[in-house]
Structure 1
Amino acid sequence: MRLLSVAVVASLLPGLPSAALAAAGTTYYVDSRAGDDAAAGTSASTAWKSLEKLAAAELKPGDTVAVKRGGSFAGPLTLEASGTAAKPITVKAYGSGALAKISGSEEDCVVVKGNHWAISGLHASNCRWAGFQLDGDNNELSGVKADRNIAGVFVTPSGSRNTIRDSVLTGNDRMSVNDEGGDNDSGAFGVLLNGDDNVVTGNTISGSFARSADYGTDGAAVEIFNGDRNRVTHNISRNNETFTELGAQKGKTATGNVFAFNVVTSSRSRGSFLITRGSRHIVGPVKGTIAVHNSVYLPARDTVGWSCHDGCSPSILKLRNNVIVVGGESGWEDGAGADEDGSVYQGRTARFKLGPKSVMADPKFVSKTDLRLRPGSPALGRAVALTPKWYGGKAFGKDIKGKPLAGPLDSGAYQH
């Protein structure tokens, strides 16, 4: 859910003075260099100094926290108050320079326990486990950065209807546990979703890759475990071990997750786009996954486009209108197989049945990093028509560059 600014709300409600809207809350300032916790905190010249002072403040719906750029803090920053849908509590940057950095190898950096927060302008780095942890509902992260964490953003099982958008999650390349045996290593996640009905859109996610004692290497741009109905759309993924891997422990579900209009590239020697499981797997079945209009280029030999194993069926995985080029296996299915159509594949091998409008051919990408289609591409005009539910709803009915879907549709993330 995109949260509206005062200016936007005022334009939609011209009869209501913007000053009345702005007066809804108080703005508090935090400056790690020049602040003073004994000051009032209500102006840039009387800013507080510490996150502890901020965490102790009795924030109310409509309040704003402004954090001075160029500063650094030791985490955690725990946000326990709650805003409302009409009056979220806002965190934003002010001043000039780099985003304020929050670090803390002994603690998670930003922990959002409340609801209806709109958080931007923070950088969480080298935290105990997660850069940003969302325990609450209806929160939004936008324009944040996270690096050097086990998970850049972690949405816990209690976190629902949150949005992570327009952010840079790079080099979250650490592994937890990481010991021999036990099949229990975990980490190197750009985003880890354990909750339901969240949106991950418009982000650049790179470098989710780490050594693992159990798996050799592991990591994912967006990992979903026990999370239902999450929508992962319009993201740029570079040099991650896997774009997405899905699982659910027995008695839990990871049902109805959608991946649409993502662009996935990697120069690593190993990688994959999508990994999911049927009922015979220890973390299966993962039901109702949909992948549509994604563009993928993974040229190394040890790569997989998509894998649906241990009891694959159309109820497990549906794919439409993707363009997938790999140096290894373009797709793999067992059992009844996935439901696939309208796509272009190129790979060394393939173990799946092509849909009626799918082909094996060179899609003619512009380059190794630019996955737009050149003239004469077999992906042009190949896509099958889809209703909005396939790609997460009408709000997501546009290509990776924001072009609306119209006319004969092309396969892949770009429309021409």
Structure 2
Amino acid sequence: MRLLSVAVMASLLPAVPSAALAAQAGTTYYVDSRAGNDGAAGTSAAAAWKSLEKVDAAELKPGDTVLFKRGGKFTGPLTLEASGTAAKPITVKSYGKGALATITGDEADCVSVKGDYWRISGLRASRCRWAGFAIGGDSNELIGVQADHNVTGVYVPASGSRNTIRDSVLTDNNRMSVNDEGGDNDSGAFGVLLNGDDNVVTGNTITGSFAKSKDYGTDGAAVEIYNGDRNRVTHNVARNNETFTELGAQKGKTATGNVFAFNVVTSSRSRGSFLITRGPRHVVGPVKGTVAVHNSVYLPARDTIGWSCHDGCSPSILKLRNNVIAVGGEAGWEDGSGADEDGGVYKGRSARFKLGPKSVMADPKFVSRTDLRLRPGSPALGRGLVLTPRWYGGKAFGEDVKGKALPAAPDAGAYQR
């Protein structure tokens, strides 16, 4: 049978009126902080709006797009209250050349997403009152954004669920919201803070989540989870944060079933940790069902710990598989009946946990202090257990930090041969 050409096949399709195509695409609006005019139509680069207030007041509809000119600077907030749909999200992007458009301001969170189905890229949120981006709706995406010098780069409150934060750069979010003596209540310096459920944090670079604390000396976390369930934190690169992740839940709330997979964590700071979680005896415990698999960690300073599961640790609190963790301090710490651990390689001055049957204490032979790929002869090569997708958050996440498929005999750590 003769195959038809693409052009011939296209000619057989029913014609779609141009008006219908425009309706499907929605309206595109332009915003230019330098040359824009709020009295203009906003529907072309030559007739761009000037202010965030004009965007806030616009009656945006599913399928619409808002383009911010690169190099622009705005004083926030940008409040996005409309909602798109799964088929027609509302999109925020950039146009032109130069640095991302920057939103700043100390009176509010710089970008506040209250609606659903937004796809936001091309923005930087810097030196905001509290959060760079606050994602309070559902099914929103932050893609390739930047956030710096906030209390938290990205905040997902309890109202936010099924959101995705990916391929973004969150740098030096190093301010505290509470920093007073006593009370064990200092808080801040988060790359991402998750209070909501079923969110995904993947493919991001998170650095410098670290600040002085009167209660703790220093504090901060690349990804903090408090009262959030079933969040998946995967394939991120974290450098020079106080902690990679710390989990907690207030009494009557939960932080259950959170997954950390294929993350790469390094630091040159004098103290730090990979994962901190709590059992039922802790004031912000229990945190149940945390899973950490195929992570690579190198924290060479003496005041460091790989993971800590305290105040009533048990396999229902923490499960670990196929991690490679080398620290200058304590490789891991557990009390109670202990965590469920296996398939890992650990190095540290001390360790207070029971190794799984296939785990070992040995030098993992990383390529360097910042390159955590494995050198030939590493004990992590081929050591990993074969895991079903539920361990690492689903089939979509079943590859190493560089996108390689998992082999039949996986290596421990975030990198596969």
Alignment of 1:279-358 (within 5 A): 279-358=280-359
Alignment of 1:133-212 (within 5 A): 133-212=134-213
* Alignment-derived partner of residue 8 in structure 1: none
Aligned pair in 2 of structure 1 residues 298, 41: CA closer, same or farther (>3 Å)? same
Q: Cα distance, 1:213 vs. partner?
A: 1.1
Greater CA drift, 99-108 or 314-323 = 99-108
1:158-214 deviation line (CA, Å, top 9, x unaligned): 000000000000000000121111222110000000000000000000000000111
Q: In 1, distance between residues paired with 2:371 and 2:21?
A: 44
Q: Cα distance, 1:108 vs. partner?
A: 1.0
1:58-109 deviation line (CA, Å, top 9, x unaligned): 0000000000000000000000000000000000000000000000012110
Secondary structure in structure 2 of the residue aligned to 1:52: helix
Gaps of 5+ in 2: 1-9
Q: In 1, distance between residues paired with 2:40 and 2:284?
A: 52
Q: In 1, distance between residues paired with 2:317 and 2:157?
A: 24
Secondary structure in structure 2 of the residue aligned to 1:364: coil
Q: In 1, distance between residues paired with 2:376 and 2:154?
A: 39
Q: In 1, distance between residues paired with 2:22 and 2:103?
A: 28
Paired residue type of 1:302:
D
Identity among equivalent pairs (%): 82
Paired residue type of 1:258:
V
Secondary structure in structure 2 of the residue aligned to 1:404: coil
Does the CA contact (< 8 Å) of 2:386 and 2:408 recur in 1? no
1:88-136 deviation line (CA, Å, top 9, x unaligned): 0000000000000000012110000000000000000000000000110
* Alignment-derived partner of residue 275 in structure 1: 276
* Alignment-derived partner of residue 98 in structure 1: 99
Paired residue type of 2:194:
L
Q: In 2, distance between residues paired with 1:104 and 1:140?
A: 23
Does the CA contact (< 8 Å) of 2:76 and 2:105 recur in 1? yes
Q: Cα distance, 1:18 vs. partner?
A: 11
Gaps of 5+ in 1: 1-10
* Alignment-derived partner of residue 108 in structure 1: 109
Q: Cα distance, 1:408 vs. partner?
A: 1.1
RMSD of aligned Cα (Å): 1.3
Q: In 2, distance between residues paired with 1:396 and 1:341?
A: 20
Alignment of 1:6-405 (within 5 A): 23-24=23-24, 25-405=26-406
Q: In 2, distance between residues paired with 1:287 and 1:322?
A: 19
Aligned pair in 2 of structure 1 residues 54, 297: CA closer, same or farther (>3 Å)? same
Paired residue type of 2:367:
V
Q: In 1, distance between residues paired with 2:343 and 2:21?
A: 48
The alignment's TM-score, normalised by the length of structure 2, stands at 0.95
1:300-337 deviation line (CA, Å, top 9, x unaligned): 00000000000000000000000000000000000000
1:378-403 deviation line (CA, Å, top 9, x unaligned): 00000001000000000000000000
Q: In 1, distance between residues paired with 2:17 and 2:28?
A: 16
Q: In 2, distance between residues paired with 1:119 and 1:27?
A: 14
Secondary structure in structure 2 of the residue aligned to 1:370: coil
Paired residue type of 1:145:
Q
* Alignment-derived partner of residue 5 in structure 1: none
Report the count of equivalent residues. 404
Q: Cα distance, 1:406 vs. partner?
A: 2.0
Q: In 2, distance between residues paired with 1:125 and 1:414?
A: 32
Q: In 2, distance between residues paired with 1:15 and 1:306?
A: 60
Aligned pair in 2 of structure 1 residues 154, 15: CA closer, same or farther (>3 Å)? farther
Q: In 1, distance between residues paired with 2:86 and 2:286?
A: 35
Q: In 1, distance between residues paired with 2:91 and 2:58?
A: 14
Does the CA contact (< 8 Å) of 2:81 and 2:114 recur in 1? yes
Q: Cα distance, 1:407 vs. partner?
A: 2.1
Q: In 2, distance between residues paired with 1:364 and 1:220?
A: 26
Moved over 3 A (4+): 14-23
Secondary structure in structure 2 of the residue aligned to 1:409: coil
Paired residue type of 2:412:
S
